[in-house]
A and B are shown apart, each in its own frame.
Chain A
Amino acid sequence: MSTTIDRQWTTRLRRRLVEQLPPDKALPDTQPSYVSSWIYVFGVVTLSALVIVILTGFVLAIRGPQWWHQSSIGHYVNSLHLWSVEIFFFAMVIHLWGKFFMAAWRGNRSLTWVTGAVTFATSIATAFTGYVSQTNFDSQWISTQAKDGINATGAGAYFNVLNTGQMLMWHIVLLPVAAVVLTALHVVMVRRKGVVPPFEEVSK
């Protein structure tokens, strides 16, 4: 017989969450021995770079374009933002290659693979809106080169690359929120299902 407390939505939600992701799976003490390989490092490098991208993005958002164009410290933070994005994509693509050749969707991990792929696509859009939000000649060049292709898809009504304010909002609000939420989902799925084992481990 269920009590009033058992029927509360908070109780039911907590039990569901603990059932789906027990604490020892969410924050494990150990990992399988096959994880001791450099190819398993690139996921966490991507995640670390994303943290730096977000933190430097916060600073750029607080200080604004004049600061990042005209002051030395602004140039420095702007460069940190750019180079952490470069490392983010560098590591993410190697992570993608590693997981592709490992067929990381094995063992009921298809949603982990799909969320990773969608995060990759979202990150490309986020980076693109960043390049057109620089407020310099580079961003003017990129946006005028991209406008015809994007308008031809019909997306221009909601995603006008010549509209600096709209691109900046996509870059600092909508797309980063999507990228961070997708990344969090991806990491939760990796924690739930565990890291994919190499082929030879499965055939043992």
Chain B
Amino acid sequence: MSEILGALVNLDHPGHYISWGWFQMSYGNFAVVVTMVVTFLVALVAPFPGRKKENQS
């Protein structure tokens, strides 16, 4: 199983980094932060299952 996953995603290399002046962050951490922001925004607007509209009784 690990061989299959290893073939799909090669992690056997030094990390890649985003550099912006003094700021530095790995692509992995950057991807997590972006996913968190997207999840937060989706949570604000996505309809919640079973929720009734305000004007419905």
Residues of chain A touching chain B, judged by Cβ–Cβ distance below 8 Å, are 33, 36-39, 41-42, 86, 90, 93-94, 97-98
Q: Does the CB pair A36–B50 fall under 8 Å?
A: yes
Residue of B nearest to A90 (CB): B36
Q: Does the CB pair B43–A39 fall under 8 Å?
A: yes
Residue of B nearest to A36 (CB): B51
Residues of B near A86 (CB, < 8 A) are 32
Instruction: Give the docked Cα–Cα distance between A86 and B32 (Å).
Output: 10
The answer to whether residues A98 and B40 also contact, given A36-B48, A36-B51, A37-B51 and a CB cut-off of 8 A, is yes
Pairs A–B under 8 Å by Cβ, sample size 30: A33-B51, A33-B52, A36-B48, A36-B50, A36-B51, A37-B43, A37-B48, A37-B51, A38-B42, A38-B43, A38-B44, A38-B46, A38-B48, A39-B40, A39-B43, A39-B44, A41-B43, A42-B43, A86-B32, A90-B32, A90-B36, A90-B39, A93-B36, A94-B36, A94-B39, A94-B40, A94-B43, A97-B40, A98-B40, A98-B43
Residue of B nearest to A38 (CB): B43
State which size class the interface on B falls in. 10 to 19
Instruction: Give the docked Cα–Cα distance between A94 and B44 (Å).
Output: 11
Residues of B near A42 (CB, < 8 A) are 43
Instruction: Give the docked Cα–Cα distance between A120 and B54 (Å).
Output: 35
The 3 closest A-B pairs by CB, nearest first: A38-B43, A36-B51, A39-B43
Residues of A near B51 (CB, < 8 A) are 33, 36-37
Known contacts A36-B50, A38-B42, A90-B39; 4 additional CB pairs below 8 A are: A90-B36, A94-B36, A94-B39, A94-B43
Residues of B near A98 (CB, < 8 A) are 40, 43
B49 to chain A, nearest CB (A): 9
Residues of A near B44 (CB, < 8 A) are 38-39
Instruction: Give the docked Cα–Cα distance between A90 and B34 (Å).
Output: 11
Instruction: Give the docked Cα–Cα distance between A96 and B41 (Å).
Output: 13
Instruction: Give the docked Cα–Cα distance between A56 and B51 (Å).
Output: 35
Instruction: Give the docked Cα–Cα distance between A41 and B33 (Å).
Output: 19
Instruction: Give the docked Cα–Cα distance between A39 and B46 (Å).
Output: 9
User: Which residues 10-39 in B have Cβ within 8 Å of A in the complex?
Assistant: 32, 35-36, 39
